[in-house]
A and B are shown apart, each in its own frame.
Chain A
Amino acid sequence: MPKNTAPVAYDSKIEGNVTFTKLDAAINWMRSNSLWPMPMGLACCGIELMATGASRFDISRFGMEVMRFSPRQSDVMIVAGTVTYKMALAVKRIYDQMAEPKWVIAMGACASSGGMYRSYAVLQGIDQLLPVDVYISGCPPRPEALLEGLMKLQKKIETEQSFVEQKKALLSELS
């Protein structure tokens, strides 16, 4: 620090570039606008998921275009399609490999409830294994529906209070 400056001073160089906000609001703003999806395309919903990622629907308007095929780089797993029992634990293992914070979207009837497959081979909803944040109806849902679901997820993330909760947990630990 130069000798003649006061510890707190008005600096015209950064005027207009400083915003006061709550930490949680800032965290949520950053998280919700750069959701990196993990595409878990298991059936025909996966085709609609691909269409969502293509130019016509322009998923990058919402900052979600960075589909990663590595769970370690992803925030939101989009379970698109029929989850068979044979695949179920593999889906869970991939989910477990994702770093926190993470969210799950059940895209379409099959991922939400087993859909039309009341069958010996099909898991009746991925929510039996993973905590699902958003369910999207449809068989398969159109890309607009998936975008709506992702926007609903953004709204949900904006209400999260991760920092406040962390502070609460710390205080209760100290007391």
Chain B
Amino acid sequence: MNSNEAADTLGVKFEHSIISTVNFRNEISIEIKLEQSFEILSYCKEKLDFDYLVDITAVDNLGNEPRYEVVYEIYSYQHGYHLRLKTGVTESEREAISVVDLWPTANWHEREAYDMLGITFKGHPDMRRILMWEGYPYYPLRKDFPLAGKTSEMPDVAFSEPVPLNGGPFVTSPCSASTDKREPRSREFIS
């Protein structure tokens, strides 16, 4: 079996839970409904031999509905194929379904998604922050969180302050001009 066949199998078995399937350069991304996400991932693991959860990450599509998207990268060491499953999480619910019971490694991935974007995972055994300190009041990878950060204060634990950006962030823009034109600069100077 290869990833195409695995995707087809899923497509037949879960016809009503799959929103779309995209094949980009032989990488297959399948968008699935949140309610059936555990069921589908469980089927992937048990029946399609996806024995390895590469990563769980999340995306903030501010302005779109559903606002968040949880992305599962799964891989089969047994057969050497890969799938990407995505599921939308709405702003109001902000809750996905934990897959710790399928792949224990999901524990820390889901904690990171929670820490950075504030999405909780139903059924997670230990839903705590993992990178920022316990009690930090913001979710820093959300699109509406300023790049410079915000002030926070927890006596004896940690504090944070906005950083001076001095015109930054400095970004490059793709073009074929010479190096001095291509070097990173502030957005206001990019025409």
Contacts and interface: CB of A to CB of B under 8 A. Distances in A.
Interface of A: 85-86, 88-89, 114, 118-122, 124
B147 A120 contact: yes
Contact of A88 (B147, B158, B169): B158
A120 B160 contact: yes
B165 A118 contact: yes
Interface of chain B, main secondary structure: loop
B159 A85 contact: yes
A120 B145 contact: yes
Contacts of A120: 138, 140, 145-150, 160, 162-163
27 contacts: A85-B158, A85-B159, A86-B131, A86-B132, A88-B159, A89-B156, A89-B159, A114-B163, A118-B148, A118-B163, A118-B164, A118-B165, A118-B168, A119-B163, A120-B138, A120-B140, A120-B145, A120-B146, A120-B147, A120-B148, A120-B160, A121-B131, A121-B149, A121-B160, A122-B163, A124-B161, A124-B164
**Interface of chain A, helix or strand or loop or mixed?**
loop
Contacts of A121: 131-132, 140, 149, 160
Contact of B158 (A89, A119, A124): A89
A44 B101 CA distance: 36
